[in-house]
Every structure is written in structure tokens, then in C-alpha cells.
Structure 1
Amino acid sequence: MTPLRAVEPADDEDHADLTDHPETAPEALVICALMWLQDTEEAARISATLQANDFHDPVYRELYGIVQELIIDNLPHDPASVLGVLVRSGASGHRGARLRRTLTDVTAANACGASANEYAGMVLSESYRRSFFDAGIRIQQLAEEAPEEFLFDQLVEIGRAQREATNRLNAFRSGSTR
């Protein structure tokens, strides 16, 4: 689910949207922008808030995790450095081909490092919306399967998690890491 489609369509070309292309997908663009971002404080702020689990696409999620780790470790996080991590981890063979291809696509997405904050905000916003979708599913499952005496407490837990997600998004938008 993305802001451009509330429900995942069937996998066919007739249902493609802008998020299917690295040059217009916020998840790809934030990774690209972070790899070119020279402001280490801004990169650290973004990587402290934006987590790999915020990414819907599993390949972008894995790639972002590598970039994030490099930033957190205060190491170069440019495309060559990310590729170096991939090669050292054994992703230079057939198994890592998709990840390397995605790195190439993301690198060529043409995002400016100065836009990393905006793209990160987009990814956080998409993740935030997905969390409500997931919460709705959990509530439905609880209604069908949970013992009655636990329903309210579990609903409160879901609400607290959504409040935390709201606070995290708002803190990022205000320029802090909380």
C-alpha cells in the first residue's frame, strides 16, 4: 500500500504507478539522496528516525539498512561504499544480483542529497499510513479471535502504538529526533 494506492493491485503492467519506478519512488529516492548527502548531522538525524521497517519494498528495506548502518557508524555512505558492503557480505554472486541491481537503479534515480529530508518524510508518511491499515487488520482479528476480557487492553496497546507512530512522524517533521 502506498499513498497512490490504498490496496495492492494484482501484479500486472496495467496497475503500475509512479512508485514502481526508482526515479519517482520515495523509498528509492531517499536512499539515493542519503548516499549523496554531505551533511553528516542531517544524515544522522534522518537515520535515527527512519527505520528499515518503514520501507514497504523488501529490497529497498535491506538497502536502506546498509546505508543507515554506514551513517550510524560514521562511515562513508556513498554508492561505492554501499557496494563494498554488499560485496563483502557475499552479495556479489547470483544471490545478491537483485540487491546490486536495485543499488544501481537507486544510484541513478537522480535524487539530490539536499532533498533527503523531504523524501524521508514521504517514506515515514507512507509507513504511518500503512500502520493504520495494519492496525485495522489487527483490530478485526482481535474482534474475531481474542478472548473478550483482553479485547480492550489489546485495543489500547494498538492505540498506544499508533500514538507513538504519530509522535515520531510529528517529531521528524518538526526537525527533531525526539
Structure 2
Amino acid sequence: MKAPDDAHAETNLLCALMWSDAKHPTTKTTIEYLTSDDFHSPLHGQLFHIIKEKYQNAEPFSAQLINESLQDEEQRHGNAATLRPLLVDAMTANVVIAEQAEGFADHILSAAYRRQFAAMATTLATAAEHAPEDKLFDIMVEHGKRQREAHRRREGFRPAVAQAKQQAEKLTQRAELFRQHQQKQINTSAPARAPATNLTDMLNVSTNAVSIHVPAATEIHDDSQQQATENQHAQESIR
């Protein structure tokens, strides 16, 4: 087991998670799949536990918010001063692509599986020296079951990430098809209008839409001729 390599993978994983989005399929699967016990460094595992708690509570888990949460960790564990330098290392690891989390998480799971295997071998060696002979087989079977479950879990990570990516891709495709369908319905229901080709077409207004009412012309009476006739009759009567 190479602890320096494990520490490098754990730091980079924490960086990839803190700079990612909880909805990203790789990030989502990694946080759900791993536990703090998978980390070689208990302090890295503690930082991961904070991220996982925030994820489960539907809270953002950016580096800044993780740093603010260290105050709570100080009250619970009293080691915030030790965690902050590790958090700074993770913040500045320059791993900001969510897809990279898959490789780092796979390395961490592999190392955890080997540590468990080594621990089992140590336990069996101790049992071989000190346990009652009639208990040896049962002890070996019990540890074998645990190691088989550890192997299943270790091998299931990459298929789980691949399945999450496929589901996300299907959802994206369905959303795009729905958007295209909606746009098609909008285009179909909209009335078709031919573009105006000249000034006459642009100024032409349908008489069904606009009615122009012209008031009747006022009748104008010319009374000059009638007045002249009346004056002539008056003069004749005087004579």
C-alpha cells in the first residue's frame, strides 16, 4: 500500500467534488458510493463526511461552505485547525473537472480493498496462533464473506458511474425532444403570413378590419335668388 499515492488521490478527489455540481452523474455517484472509512487518511475521510452530509441535506458543498462548517467540526472533534490546511490543499489541487473524480475514487476503493484484505490476513494469522482449533474454520468463513462483499462493492463502482451517465444522457435527450416538440407545436399553431413585397401591400388594409365612415355632405342653400324675387314683388306693390 502506497500511502503517499493514496493521499494524492484523496486530495484530488476532494477537490473535484468541491468544485463540482451535485447533479453531475459522476459527482453524485461518487458521493453516494464512498464512505469516510474508504479513505486512508482519517482527516480526509472527515472532510469527505462533511461533503456527504451537505449533499444528503441538499446543501451546496463548495470549499467556502466546507470551511465554514469546520466551526461545527471544532465543536464536535476539536481538530478544525488540523483540517484547514488539508482543506486548503484540496482547494488548490487544480482538479476542477468532475469526470476526474471517477479515477480518484476508483483508486481510493482499490486501496481500501487491499487494506481490508491485509487486515483479514493479519487477523487470520493471529487466529491461527491463538484461536481454538475448532473455531478456525468459522473465523475463516466469516472473514471470507466480508471480503467477498468488499470485492463486490469495489468492482461495482465504475458500472454504477457508467449507468448514472447513461441515465443523465437519456434525460438530456428526452428534454431536447420535448423542446423540439413544443417548438413544432408553436410553429404549427402560428398563422402563416406572406411577407409584404411592395409599398402597396404594406399599406393595404382590409375593409373587414377597418371601416371608414364619411359623414353626408351638408346641403347648402343659396337664398340670393329668392331674396331678389321677393324684393321685386315688394317694389311692384308699392307702385
Assess same fold via TM > 0.5. yes
Note if 1:32 corresponds to 2:15. yes
SS of 1:109's equivalent?
A: coil
Which residue of structure 1 lines up, in the alignment, with residue 68 of structure 2?
A: 84
SS of 1:76's equivalent?
A: coil
Unaligned runs of 5+ in 2: 164-239
- Give the % identical residues: 32
Residues in 1 aligned to 2:133 and 2:158: alpha-carbon distance in whole angstroms: 38
TM-score, length basis structure 1: 0.80
**In 2, are the aligned partners of 1:32 and 1:106 still within 8 Å (CA)?**
yes
Which residue of structure 1 lines up, in the alignment, with residue 123 of structure 2?
A: 138
SS of 2:160's equivalent?
A: coil
* 9, 14, 31: which one aligns with 1:47: 31
Moved segments of 4+, more than 4 Å? 17-20
Which residue of structure 2 lines up, in the alignment, with residue 60 of structure 1?
A: 44
How many residues are matched?
158
Q: Deviations over 1:46-74 (max 9, x none)?
A: 12211100111121111111112112222
2:14 is aligned with what amino acid? I
TM-score, length basis structure 2: 0.61
Shifted more, 162-171 versus 82-91: the winner is: 82-91
Residues in 2 aligned to 1:128 and 1:155: alpha-carbon distance in whole angstroms: 17
**In 2, are the aligned partners of 1:44 and 1:72 still within 8 Å (CA)?**
no
Q: Deviations over 1:10-42 (max 9, x none)?
A: xxxxxxx5556xxxx101111111111215243
Distance 1:60 1:89, change over 3 A: closer
Note if 1:129 corresponds to 2:114. yes
Q: Larger relative CO (CA 8 A, sep 6+): 1 or 2?
A: 1
The CA deviation at 1:88 is: 3.3
Residues in 1 aligned to 2:57 and 2:121: alpha-carbon distance in whole angstroms: 37
Unaligned runs of 5+ in 1: 6-16
The two structures, once aligned, show a CA RMSD in angstroms of 2.0
